[in-house]
Chains A and B, each alone.
Chain A
Amino acid sequence: KNQVEQSPQSLIILEGKNCTLQCNYTVSPFSNLRWYKQDTGRGPVSLTIMTFSENTKSNGRYTATLDADTKQSSLHITASQLSDSASYICVVKGPTSGTYKYIFGTGTRLKVLA
């Protein structure tokens, strides 16, 4: 079954610290992997999109990595800020019964404290 699992479910860190969020998927083969940031009560905003041939992609203080062999991705946040408090969602686009679909993880809820 094609699945996307994220860990941890929630995370609390102090402002200025770094953190890494994990995404493991069983989708194979896959087209691309996306990371989104979703503030409470708002729509998700795209952070990165990586195809299977890309290992790393950065967007400011956000760096996503992808290991297609182990089917793992991580999102590293550097020098966290209070505004980083949000849910981070991993999405894999892959084939399901002959068509491609988006498979969403349940997200990691990050809280940055002053």
Chain B
Amino acid sequence: DGGITQSPKYLFRKEGQNVTLSCEQNLNHDAMYWYRQDPGQGLRLIYYSQIVNDFQKGDIAEGYSVSREKKESFPLTVTSAQKNPTAFYLCASSMGGGPGQVDSYEQYFGPGTRLTVT
């Protein structure tokens, strides 16, 4: 069953703690992305990776970090430096392309992780 998975679905953390969100895909896609969704706003790009061992900052990378050691996995760490971490986080993947390229590759999104920091 091919797809993109995120875990956990809900995550609660105390302020000041780092937390890592998981994203795995078995679609053999080269490109992976992390977005943040807040009420009343469009999705905003945090980080993206177009190939293993390489990733680029998106529009709101401050307070976040990522790694891309395997093609299938693109975990996102929300650090204590992120001032307003409570949000719905979406991971996506595509066969190729991504920011910086003219392409029509379809993006497939995971089910999302809702992070609440108190």
Contacts and interface: CB of A to CB of B under 8 A. Distances in A.
Contacts of B107: 34, 46
Interface stretch (A14-22, A61-69, A71-79, A94-102): A94-102
Which label, helix, strand, loop or mixed, suits the secondary structure of the B interface?
loop
A58 interface: no
Interface in B96-116: 99-104, 106-112, 114
B100 A99 contact: yes
Nearest to B107: A46
A100 B48 CA distance: 13
Interface residues of B, number: 26
B42 A46 contact: no
Given A31-B104, A51-B104, A100-B102, A105 B110 contact: no
**Interface size for chain A: under 10, 10 to 19, 20 to 34, or 35 or more residues?**
20 to 34
Contacts of B95: none
Nearest to B58: A101
B100 A32 contact: no
A89 B42 contact: yes
A99 B104 contact: no
B88 to A, nearest CB: 8
Contacts of B90: 43-44
A91 to B, nearest CB: 8
Contacts of B59: 101
A34 B103 CA distance: 12
Nearest to B9: A41
Interface in B30-75: 40-45, 59
